[in-house]
Amino acid sequence: MTSFLQGIAYNFKGLKFGLRNAKLLLLGLIRLIVIILIAVVAAAFILVNYEEILALMWGRPESAWLTWLWYVTSWLLALVLIAISALVGFIVAQLLFSVFIMDLMSQITERKTSGQVKSSDTHMAKLSYLFYLLRQEIPRATLPVLISLLLMVLAWFTPIGPLLTVLSPLAAGIFLAWDNTDLVPARRLEPFGQRLAFLRRHLGFHLGFGVLFLIPLLNILLLAFAPVGATLYYVEQIDPLAAAPTAAAAPAEPLE
């Protein structure tokens, strides 16, 4: 329970820290706008071609008795397609753009907290580092989607559907939290298996950090600054020695 409450606290701590810093505020807003724009464009494309997609799946029946079922199916199909487009838009935004903004926000937070950005001794060229970040984001973005889809299928076709209906959004929140706490160890070039083990060891924190992402409207604001709170947690709780230079060698940089 302590780690769960700690996750909630660090989410709001990151929001407060981000809103008080001009660079983090700008980056958070840019990330939010990009995700929304890509999701909206994907949804608009689906809706424009919606009738053609429906016609390919099931033409409007001539029987009046089946017409009502056709209308219900058409509405359900529209909702499913919009949900899929939003999910695809989020993944595309993460892979092509947001991962770089998230890492930059994480670096700024770590530097302001500890006075330095701790990374691996392996020095990588800038372009190679960007491709490295992209490779790290692929499993981090696809694994949660696959697990969420598996839970949805099990909820439809197994007797434990009601339980899985509750667990599915909680699992999504956990993976959204991990998408942010993984920024620091990924930047330090830690192996993926080791970072996945970190998620398992701190599952309570990730549940507390991610459960707030399930609250409509509030989640939009918190997701924009989630890299800040996640980095604060990692630097202060997981690697507290990284914060030592703040008081000793490097004075804290004033918030902008």
Average pLDDT for residues 149-165, to the nearest whole number?
68
Radius of gyration of the chain (CA): 21
d(CA 101, CA 133): 11
Contact by Cβ (8 Å): 37, 240: no
Residue 116 has pLDDT above 60, yes or no: yes
Q: What is the pLDDT of residues 163-218, one digit of tens each?
A: 666 677 788 788 888 888 988 888 887 888 888 899 889 999 999 998 888 787 78
Kindly report whether the global pTM for this prediction surpasses the value 0.75: no
pLDDT at position 248 is 38
Continuous segment of H or E residues that includes residue 60: none
Sign for the CA dihedral angle at 60, 155, 216, 32 comes to negative
CA-wise closest residue to 168 among 180, 156, 184, 182: 156
pLDDT grade, residue 138 (50/70/90)? low
Sign of the CA dihedral with 108 first, then 109, 112, and 116 last: negative
The answer to whether the beta carbons of residues 176 and 223 sit under 8 Å apart is yes
Residue 164 CB-density burial (10 A; 0-12 exposed, 13-18 middle, 19+ buried): middle
**Per-residue pLDDT tens digits for 1-42:** 788 999 999 999 999 999 999 999 999 888 778 777 877 777
**pLDDT one-digit tens code per residue, 80-100:** 666 666 666 666 666 656 677
Query: Which two structure tokens, joined as six digits, stand for 81?
Result: 């397609």
**Residue 135 in tokens:** 């490779």
Question: Average of pLDDT values for 134-150?
Answer: 68
**More confident call, 243 vs 78:** 78
